[in-house]
Structure 1
């Protein structure tokens, strides 16, 4: 180690001395919380607790700045940001302060990121993307509504103004992309300072992403097609789950390739891309008398005898391939409302996959991202959900949640949202619904009832104050707090998990994973096997078998395989 690398410094806000290193470019600085573009940058690191990394440039920042171009009237003092200020906005760039160190004016409320204060000040922009004229920085912070995004920030910020037409724009909105493609609309959309009004001027514009009013006196994105009145708020259009980050200005538009999922052979006969060696014949919903419960749709994974609907079956006698008619029509390539890239439909050969939308394991068809190094994948059930979505238990349309839901719970199942368990929200209330609840089939068939059972719950019609019992597990069912399936004619009610199971998207068949081989079979005998792991009877439609043992759920199976030695 070089002698210079042994240099030690004392930082007032850290209990241990810091060691100098010639290069910490791979580490995140705990003052500015950014990684510079340079491949080599000097800095300091704590070799005692390894919890403090600082760029040398940040450590040497002046404790006070006088006459900064962004705030010339008062001096700015350097200090660490308090947790209560993390959600406040930077007066310079308009983004959340987050964490790290800031320069703050003790006289007024002006506060900016350390990295914003260090950047060379820019006082004018000659050719902004979002405006036709030159923009000038007004160095006095003030609350204002941005003419490019129509948003008023929580605190005062520095406006960029046009001296010719008087518009004021956030710094972050100066270079909004001119032309983009988003996942919510089939055409390209362009930024416009004032989107065109609808054909009837009495009607108002609504954003195609959040469905809220879009005022035409502010900037927004509108469809490039003359006969299409699609409009999106500027900030809605550039959300990470909506836009892929590419500005298509100057890029010629190419037609998207379209592949049909099947070839029509004859009346009610097709050849599907996932089963090309045999023909499939359409069968009516009731034509399932020969099924014993082991036949699952190859696409959605649900049992044919439970899921209501027409289906295709293989015409070869010794082949048990079946697929619902709706699943057979799933497009080979599609855009999805929760992902900015195009997706490709693929058959799945194992059940070690987890859906990026509902966080459930599945073994049916999967839509995967067309982009390299993007691990997004969504099962066929979640992929079939579109917006706005009308659910049987809620009167208002639902759209994908516009804010992170990690600290929120589904209004029905009470499950917590997370990165892989996404939700849809009501535009009229605070109602949230996770995709596990959204993707439940609206109707199912129950072997003890001649009518299809309908999904209800959360105080559905005739349920208020009633006491229901599940026909399968014979336990109490609370209609005011949970979803359930019911027959209005026969007064039959069953829990969702009792009729669909804990792992509804897993098909029967043989599988293998890094921990061993196992088999999934239909639980259709009069004898319910005992789960080797939890020592309870296996009550669900499928059973897992591994090394001569029965397991009731995928959770029990995984625990058994990992700890069987």
Structure 2
């Protein structure tokens, strides 16, 4: 392999602070200022700096087409550097010298986009055509031939990169955990893959964050067995920093974790604490043990409520806002079910699952304890659907699972043509006396998977959606919502002639509200989203 195509991390200064940054073996010291104690992480002391020109990634892909395979990972063979007269890949030089007017052959070097460099971009305005991701960066190139934009790291990505931080096997990008597409780095020995943006990110040698730790923290590449004092985990794939003076260890991202946050699993704010009181505590999210010697989030209003640091910061648990210094507003809490303890509810659909002990009969509680991967596979035992977009509660003792939509169904509901309250029944509890729905006049047996409402005194039965409506939480007319940049107006369905649903074509809208967008009317939000795809 051409030595000019090998990238190595060397010690350099950015804004007067030492970092490890990627350099090419052809670069010289004349273009980038460096610290006096310059060293290469891989031990190569012969590397030097110069300001190179780079090929358009589209040309690199085209020149390497004969090596492309859909079924296996193959190494890239085309250097990112724009060829000089003395040195050029034959396939690249052939494309550059061709007389073809093919617009896909980009014969000019890419140029930096100065107007947006060092600014965080917008997901709606940028996609890198090298790695095919919307991953936002701060430095970009543009090809004046094909008019495509690229990450700086994707343009400059050397064929081989020696990164000191990441050593653990992974499937997706092991740094940001996002999907990998056209162009990425892969290590077959450890089955490790990374986006160029992640792989070439500068690594600070020192981090000074007095809020997390009073002393300077130093980068420590050999972090395979170090337990982080902030999150309590060993993460071989994360850059790790240490304070030898205090024997303090922290992952790079843990150093900047917020101190005060609000999670969906608890009614109060929770704040970070570096140590826990003595005792045996379980996490309020995953219900597993919390290590007393490591950091965690705790509630100052509720005694002994703790959450693992990384559990609290999961995307499905935290809203992403740092609330330190933000005044807390009083909250109105509406109990849709009986709350036994924090994160534990008693739902009427599960009250027949009982355990018998010497002192009587107890009811199993339901937890929000499934992680995202478990939720994807879990099936609700009321509606019998996986419903990947809904959170699910589960019973740890008997593996009972119920989705949030079914869990929030009212136990009793009012029907305008019945003087009594109707009670919810599970589909498997239906019998011959509950035969027909009063509204749609279809058999209740077809609702075996969804449950139904019934009045024992009047023998009245209704499907759930016939009584409560298809969109029971969107029943406030005259509201406007936005879905994929389209405005949707929620209107009352009270005209003399009910409108036809644009999605169902021949069916009139039976629900209490309709959804109107761009002169099209839909009977439910589900119909609108299906039409919008």
Question: Whole-Å Cα distance in 1 between the matches of residues 227 and 327 of structure 2?
Answer: 37
Please give the root-mean-square deviation of Cα atoms over the aligned residues, in Å. 5.3
Return the match for 2:394 from 419, 426, 437. Answer: 426
Shift, 1:113, TM fit = 4.3
In the TM superposition, 1:512-531 aligns within 5 A as 520-521=493-494
Q: In structure 2, do the counterparts of structure 1 residues 391 and 152 end up closer, same or farther at CA, with 3 Å as the change threshold? A: farther
- Given the alignment of the two structures, is residue 232 of structure 1 paired with residue 313 of structure 2, yes or no? no
Shift, 1:191, TM fit = 2.0
Q: Is the 1:544–1:557 Cα contact (8 Å) retained in structure 2?
A: no
**Partner of 1:169 in structure 2?**
250
Question: Whole-Å Cα distance in 1 between the matches of residues 344 and 500 of structure 2?
Answer: 44
Give the match's secondary structure for 1:10: helix
Q: In structure 2, do the counterparts of structure 1 residues 538 and 446 end up closer, same or farther at CA, with 3 Å as the change threshold? A: farther
Unaligned runs of 5+ in 2: 1-52, 66-103, 117-124, 351-363, 482-486
Unaligned runs of 5+ in 1: 77-83, 259-332, 337-379, 524-528
Q: Is the 2:433–2:459 Cα contact (8 Å) retained in structure 1?
A: no
Q: In structure 2, do the counterparts of structure 1 residues 532 and 64 end up closer, same or farther at CA, with 3 Å as the change threshold? A: closer
Instruction: Report how many aligned residue pairs link the two structures.
Output: 394
Return the match for 1:11 from 41, 56, 60. Answer: 60
Question: Whole-Å Cα distance in 1 between the matches of residues 208 and 456 of structure 2?
Answer: 69
Shift, 1:28, TM fit = 3.0
- Given the alignment of the two structures, is residue 146 of structure 1 paired with residue 228 of structure 2, yes or no? yes
Shift, 1:443, TM fit = 0.7
Question: Whole-Å Cα distance in 2 between the matches of residues 403 and 438 of structure 1?
Answer: 18
Give the match's secondary structure for 1:236: helix
In the TM superposition, 1:424-503 aligns within 5 A as 424-426=392-394, 428=396, 433-446=402-415, 451-460=420-429, 468-472=434-438, 473-477=441-445, 481-488=449-456, 492-503=460-471
Q: TM-score, normalised by structure 1?
A: 0.53
Question: Whole-Å Cα distance in 2 between the matches of residues 181 and 545 of structure 1?
Answer: 33
In the TM superposition, 1:53-452 aligns within 5 A as 53-55=149-151, 57-65=153-161, 68-70=163-165, 86-87=171-172, 89-90=174-175, 95-96=176-177, 98-99=179-180, 101-108=183-190, 112-127=194-209, 129-140=211-222, 142=224, 145-153=227-235, 157-182=238-263, 184-185=265-266, 188-197=269-278, 201=279, 204-224=280-300, 228-240=303-315, 242-243=317-318, 245-247=320-322, 251=325, 254=327, 256=329, 334=332, 387-394=343-350, 395-399=364-368, 402-403=371-372, 410-414=380-384, 417=387, 421-426=389-394, 428=396, 433-446=402-415, 451-452=420-421
Q: Is the 1:148–1:234 Cα contact (8 Å) retained in structure 2?
A: yes
Question: Whole-Å Cα distance in 2 between the matches of residues 8 and 215 of structure 1?
Answer: 47
Q: In structure 2, do the counterparts of structure 1 residues 482 and 125 end up closer, same or farther at CA, with 3 Å as the change threshold? A: same
Q: Is the 2:170–2:191 Cα contact (8 Å) retained in structure 1?
A: no
Shift, 1:11, TM fit = 0.9
Shift, 1:234, TM fit = 0.8
Shift, 1:134, TM fit = 4.3
Q: TM-score, normalised by structure 2?
A: 0.56
Q: Is the 2:427–2:449 Cα contact (8 Å) retained in structure 1?
A: yes
Q: Is the 2:390–2:405 Cα contact (8 Å) retained in structure 1?
A: no
Question: Whole-Å Cα distance in 1 between the matches of residues 219 and 452 of structure 2?
Answer: 59
Question: Whole-Å Cα distance in 2 between the matches of residues 12 and 476 of structure 1?
Answer: 59
Q: Is the 1:511–1:519 Cα contact (8 Å) retained in structure 2?
A: no
Question: Whole-Å Cα distance in 2 between the matches of residues 446 and 517 of structure 1?
Answer: 23
Question: Whole-Å Cα distance in 2 between the matches of residues 9 and 88 of structure 1?
Answer: 22
Q: Deviations over 1:25-50 (max 9, x none)?
A: 55333456543325xx4333783xx8
Q: Deviations over 1:381-413 (max 9, x none)?
A: 99x9x9544322235424386538678765433
**Partner of 2:143 in structure 1?**
44
Question: Whole-Å Cα distance in 2 between the matches of residues 543 and 157 of structure 1?
Answer: 50
Give the match's secondary structure for 1:160: strand
